[in-house]
Chain A
């Protein structure tokens, strides 16, 4: 008996399931090698044949920053909490680009990956979670430009950068949660993937990417500010800015509210996904 194979040597019972299911964490851990290779595939496949390779990870945030700086910073004269507009927007663009691309790829993952889960068994949760991990590579690469910008504007990072991992976890949870919800819905309802690009755009403008959260407190007061914190990316983005640029203290209220949402999205998403899992192969 080859013990390196999946240790499913106890009796499995296959029968119709109903209602909400618990997540089988043990199983997910057993399949970690598969997870690793799927992430590797995602990363390699995109960059294998491109001449510029990994620099593509920089193009989106850098060019967005340039355009935003010209239009919002220059033409519209958007306030930016006293920091130069380019770095104000770039510090937001790094987590935002990750969130938006992870969420979009995750939503489409079941549809694009339908030819593997209709042929082989493995825990389906691996599929929407793969882009959530593979997009982290792009995220890390984008940091390179950030350091360049910080040097250029002579802004040293604060000690709060040690909180960045927390913010990163939050954005991962939020992206995976939405990804699990939407991917399960997308495989059943074919108009979801069409709407995701549009949704992503809307979400960007409602996030404080091109404008500062201080505008909300000014216009609507501190109650509104707190409520706004329920949008997880609000806390993440402002948190990134505060930690890296030091112009404000860490926005703990926003982060706290956002964390609640992120965690709920993650768990509710995974439960919804599990409950719909049984029909994926039938409706794919």
Chain B
């Protein structure tokens, strides 16, 4: 048996969007045209699903173009990308729901696809009847469902109501039951599209647990998701799709970072002064943000252990001096989790009276954050009211540095470095 589960070879998928001339989606319309001028209209009538051989016209888009990759048996591969990148189209082709325009796919092994939870559920039927219906739609046999029925019931938590019509269930119960059926599929290859986005916390945890179980079971899994946390947790490798093509492929952490970088770049490309996505009453406005090193020089990045400053330009909206200003700088990681912040009031700095234009300087000493990419958000308060707030004001790139000043940089792991000192003592009898 081959080592490769799925081999995708130059896969392409073309769709026709909008129409140059009016194409009929009514039979009468196409028949009338057919009588009017046989030859040209025959090709037009069929063109919804066919394309002339000289290819490109401007109402045609390539949802996927020349996508090639391999998935080894037992591997869990993540597929990420912006909306419209082609992820769902790729999955649909692999699930044989739609046909490729070009290229081919080789799949070796039993396949089950999970693009949606509760496919085929009928509200008038009972939970039990829907389990069988949904199960057979997903590809199980009746005997297989019979065997697993108790497990499915148990996982779903709706035992009491299994014989009531599903339309009486809460939406949470429906989702739990549907997912429970899907969770008991046992194919060799599983193709999953973002199905975990629904349900309460307990349910989400259950889903993730099941996904982990699946990914460790030796099954080949293809996982399309926007939930970067779960992609990082479950997938060993990932593919980043962009505009229907593979932008990059490789170790999950690297790919996820790349994806996030793209997000940042489109965000902070515009200068602070021109940013319009800000909040606050506007008495004070940020105009720029820079990082400067210990010598006052502007830098693009800092190292762990560096002493540096944030240099944040500001201007008051009415050209008057400002009173009682406080400034807050928030640092978040690539998952937008809040890590640490700087707040002028922490050090007792009140900014009671400041000129109408200038720059705030916040000095950070021996910065302890790990190497990585972080996002900076900035907020200004005047007399306690929020006056300006910009998310993703800038990137903060932290590189490996020499925190302990021992003339050697190290890859400290974790979120931040703890200041420390080591030595040996003679053994004390009391211990």
Q: Which A residues fall within an 8 A CB radius of B? A: 1-2, 4-17, 31, 33-34, 36-38, 40-41, 44-45, 48-49, 115-122, 185, 188-192, 195, 276, 278-279, 281-283
Specify which chain B residues have a CB less than 8 angstroms from the CB of A44 in the assembled complex: 124-125, 129
Partner of B110, one of A8, A37, A281: A8
**Within the assembled complex, what's the spacing in Å between the Cα atoms of A37 and B144?**
14
Q: Which of A185, A188, A283 has the most CB of B within 10 A?
A: A188
A48 x B95 contact (CB < 8 A): no
B287 to chain A minimum Cβ distance, whole angstroms, is 51
* Count of inter-chain pairs, beta carbons less than 8 A: 152
Q: Is the CB of B48 within 8 A of A191?
A: no
20 contacts between A and B (CB under 8 A): A2-B144, A5-B139, A6-B141, A9-B109, A11-B108, A14-B105, A14-B107, A16-B99, A17-B99, A33-B140, A37-B136, A41-B125, A49-B124, A119-B119, A120-B120, A190-B25, A192-B27, A278-B99, A281-B92, A282-B49
A118–B109 touching, CB < 8 Å? no
Complex CA distance for A48 and B165, rounded to whole angstroms: 9
Q: CA separation between A107 and B115, bound complex, in Å?
A: 26
Q: Is B122 an interface residue (CB 8 A)?
A: yes
Interface size on B, residues (CB 8 A): 57
Is B424 among interface residues, defined by CB-CB distance under 8 A?
no
Whether A13 pairs with B129 at a CB distance below 8 angstroms is no
Residues of B within 8 A of A4 (CB): 140-141, 143-144, 147
Contact of A16 among B100, B129, B139, B147 (CB under 8 A): B100
Please indicate the chain A residues that have their CB under 8 angstroms from the CB of B27 in the complex: 185, 189, 191-192, 195
| In the complex with contacts A33-B141, A41-B125, A122-B139, A12-B111 CB distance below 8 A | yes
Assembled-state Cα–Cα distance A6/B188 (Å): 11
User: Is A8 touching B99 in the complex (CB atoms < 8 A)?
Assistant: no
At the interface, yes or no: B38 with Cβ under 8 Å from chain A?
no
B15 x A282 contact (CB < 8 A): yes
User: How far is it, in angstroms, between the C-alpha of A278 and the C-alpha of B101 when the chains are bound?
Assistant: 11
Nearest CB of B to A82, in Å: 43
Give the residues in chain A near B30, CB-CB below 8 Å.
Answer: 189
B96 touches A5 (CB 8 A): no
What are the 3 tightest A-B residue pairs by CB atom distance, in nearest-first order? A189-B27, A15-B104, A191-B26
Query: What is the bound-complex CA distance between A10 and B107, given in angstroms?
Result: 8
Q: A189-B30, A191-B27 are in contact. Are A14 and B94 (CB under 8 A)?
A: yes
Which residues of A lie under 8 Å from residue B280 when comparing CB positions?
A: none
Instruction: List 5 other contacts, CB 8 Å, given A14-B106, A120-B95.
Output: A5-B112, A15-B100, A36-B136, A37-B132, A122-B137
Q: Is the CB of A120 within 8 A of B137?
A: yes
B138 at the binding interface (Cβ < 8 Å) = yes
Query: Given A48-B165, A185-B27, A1–B188 Cβ distance below 8 Å?
Result: yes
CA distance A137 to B70 in the complex (A): 49
Do the beta carbons of B188 and A121 come within 8 Å of each other?
no
* B residues less than 8 Å from A31 (CB atoms): 136
Instruction: Name the residue on B nearest A31 (C-beta).
Output: B136
B355 within 8 A of A: no
Q: Which residues of A contact B103 (CB under 8 A)?
A: 15
Q: Indicate with 1 or 0, residue by residue over B331-342, a CB within 8 angstroms of chain A CB atoms.
A: 000000000000
B142 in the interface (beta carbon within 8 A): yes
Residue interface bits B24-64, CB-to-A below 8 A is 1, else 0: 11111110000000000000000011000000000000000
Find chain B residues with CB under 8 A from A281 CB: 92, 97-98
A10 contacts which chain B residues (CB < 8 A)?
108
User: Complex Cα distance A167/B74, Å?
Assistant: 53
B137/A34 in contact, CB under 8 A:
yes
Cβ–Cβ < 8 Å partners of A188 in chain B: 25, 48-49
A85-B16 Cα distance, complex, nearest whole Å: 56
Collect the chain A residues with CB atoms within 8 Å of residue B136's CB.
31, 33-34, 36-37
Q: Are B107 and A12 in contact (CB under 8 A)?
A: yes
A276 vs B181: C-alpha distance when bound (angstroms): 31
Q: Which residues of A contact B111 (CB under 8 A)?
A: 8, 12
Q: Decide if B26 touches A189 in the complex (CB within 8 Å).
A: yes
Within 8 A of A (CB), among B354-388: none
Instruction: Return B91 CB to nearest CB of chain A, in Å.
Output: 11
Task: Give Cα A78–Cα B29 distance, bound, in whole angstroms.
Answer: 39
Chain B, residue nearest A2 (CB): B186
Which residue of A has the minimal Cβ distance to B139? Answer: A6
B26 pairs with A37, CB closer than 8 A? no
Binary flags per residue of B14-28, CB closer than 8 Å to A gives 1, else 0: 010000000011111
Instruction: Assess the A189–B49 pair: CB atoms within 8 A.
Output: no
What's the least CB distance linking A20 to chain B, in Å? 15
Verify A283–B49 contact, CB threshold 8 A: yes
- Distance A191 CA – B122 CA, assembled complex (angstroms): 27
A118 in contact with B97 given A185-B27, A189-B26, A281-B92 (CB within 8 Å):
yes
A14 & B28 in contact (Cβ 8 Å cutoff): no
Bound Cα distance A10, B106 (Å): 10
Q: Residue B116 at the A interface, CB < 8 A? A: yes
Task: Give the distance in Å from the alpha carbon of A122 to the alpha carbon of B143 in the complex.
Answer: 18
Kindly state the separation between the CA atoms of A152 and B195 in the bound complex, as whole angstroms.
60
**Contact yes or no, A37 B97, CB < 8 A:** no
Question: Known contacts A14-B93, A41-B133, A121-B96; is A33 also within 8 Å of B142 by CB?
Answer: yes
Q: How far is the CA of A278 from the CA of B93 in the complex (A)?
A: 11
Instruction: List B residues 149-208 near A (Cβ within 8 Å).
Output: 165, 186-188
CA distance A8 to B109 in the complex (A): 7
Determine the chain B residues whose CB is within 8 A of the CB of A48 once the complex forms. 124-125, 165
Chain B neighbourhood of A49, CB < 8 A = 124
Neighbouring B residues of A12 by C-beta, 8 Å: 96, 106-108, 111
Q: Which residues from chain A contact B105 at a C-beta distance below 8 Å?
A: 13-15
Q: How far is the CA of A37 from the CA of B101 in the complex (A)?
A: 33
Task: Tell whether A279 pairs with B48 under 8 Å between CB atoms, given A5-B186, A14-B105.
Answer: yes
Contacts of B132 in A (CB 8 A): 37
